[in-house]
Chain A
Amino acid sequence: MNERYSRQELFAPIGSQGQSKLTKKHVLVIGAGALGTGSAEVLVRAGIGKLTIVDRDYVELSNLQRQQLYTEKDAMQRIPKAIAAKERLTLINSEVEVVSHVMDVSVEELEQLVKDVDLIMDATDNFDIRMIINDISQKVQIPWIYGACVGSYGITYTILPGQTPCLNCLLETVPMGGITCDTVGIISPAVQMVVSYQTSEALKILVEDYQSLRKKLVSFDLWKNQHAAINVDKVKNEECLSCGEKRTYPYLTFSNQTKTAVLCGRDTVQIRPPKLADRNLESLAKILSQQEGKVSLNPYLLSFSVGHHRLVIFKDGRVLIHGTKDIAEAKTLYHRYLG
């Protein structure tokens, strides 16, 4: 028995056979924020063969309360999360091959990243990228584990192509959120709980103990002491365009993606959601007014100034991010405040 993994091998459902399977597996973690750092640490300590982790952002002081791989030094030096994560993960377990990319993941990047991958862990913070992950997972037949949290609430579901409903079956429409971790906050235990659910399911998949998978959509609220679990098998939709018989993988096509453009000479990036829709600016103003920034509203648009950036949100859903020419930075701000 390998001493390093002895306690995990003593756990009968894994055993030495499971451990040797783990060492041959490659997991892709998309996002290196709260969920991503949590999942990556569990998987690397467990001794998987290879971990790829990608993120477009850098470490900030406000991350340290819950993003477990980062230090004050990373925040001071604004180290990209993918780089700081890799450094820490390699110190934890040098036997695992850790690959990291500082990258804004969209369709093209993901098509490359999923090569030779056994499992995709969702550690993202928005549904645009999750719908792309969902379509890719169906296209290349790789399972993925949805996980998300905000406040003291968390939710997770394991998606197995060809067996379970996919995220598109479950959602039907992509939620246009108003609450995010940057608007209503997040407590670390909610993150850890989602990570625990996600990584337990991951270990089952990686040791090929499919019988033991949870099969239910789970949510919890650690502050309100609530827990819910629903068997969603019946939600699987044969007409689903992502996983049904006449699948077209709609989120891999250009027209369904969130589009960004740098506005010439204006130090501004425009973000245009795939479907223009009426945004409720009044309720958004209420949420954003609890933030540090300054909110002003007129019948056509909402303006929100924070730091040296200004977000202008139009009723049709378009957003201008002033104060940057960097698309990745603009997207980060967009998802931080608008979900």
Chain B
Amino acid sequence: MGTTQELENALNALGSKLGDPAGKVSDLKRLSGGASQETWAFDFGPSGGAVEDLILRRAPGGVSAARSQAAIGLENEAALIDRAVAAGVPAPRVVHSCKPEDGLGQAFIMNRIAGETIARKILRDDQYATAREKLAAQCGSAAALIHSIDIADVPDLPKSMGEDQLAQYEEIYRGFDTPRPVFELAIQWLKASVPDAVEPSLVHGDFRLGNLIVDETGLVAVLDWELAHLGDRREDLAWICINSWRFGNSQNRVGGFGDLGEFLDAYAAAGGVEVTPAEIDWWETLGSFKWGVMCMIMYEAFRSGADPSVERAAIGRRVSETEIDLINLLERVRDA
């Protein structure tokens, strides 16, 4: 199962499950992007009639090969998106969660929302100038809605709080046996400065530009829920702030587009709790450390021979980006 024709046949056979027994697939094409999942766009409807714009999200070749041990699987992801939509989070509507007899492997189908996901366009194109002004508040509200979802009401998800993640990424870093003094200082400071614990809530796990659809009016959908977990709400609020996800616009702490105060105010106003910039400092430091270790993991794929591409080699020279980000953060904390 993998050719475009085979996929099209399987999708055509879904018929009424996609809301129209006479519906046919047209214009099926693979979209780029998506680190571990295949994403396909297609139109569905009666020939000559009105079509619905849909997205197929599918494990590569239909077989699950999660990008990390933490990924929750497509069935859980679909269930979670349903819950998020019910809670008022802007997200796609899941049309069908695939069963084995559908012949598509692990997959679900959702409606296709028009807009842009490429961060550099959202941050630079004139078309999104008005959207950029609203985005910090909209993201704060969306995060509050995500975190308000009753965790008794979501699929069985892994639990990972801040100290769990610090321990997990420290272990990976030590496993590489590549001493990096900046990482040592960050680990030491993070351990000595753990913020007060909070009750676990549903955490998106990859809440940042790239996983958000934005149109001229601002945020229209939160995508890519596969790293969702039970955790610390402040993780989502700080992950969008780490400098790597500001895509060159360092001066705007939230995603390269927004002001932290405005973002946190909107979060609190939409039902989230009060979160202080100092708490974001800790989580942003953890986030930059995690991203640095992730770059080391990607480089390790080259070093071990698993992926000999020049791209995997090059990413090893991006670990230093997270080192300077950590220094900037720690210097600000020290001098505060």
A and B: real partners?
A: no
Which residues on A are within 8 Å of B, measured CB to CB? none
Contact residues of B with A, CB < 8 Å? none
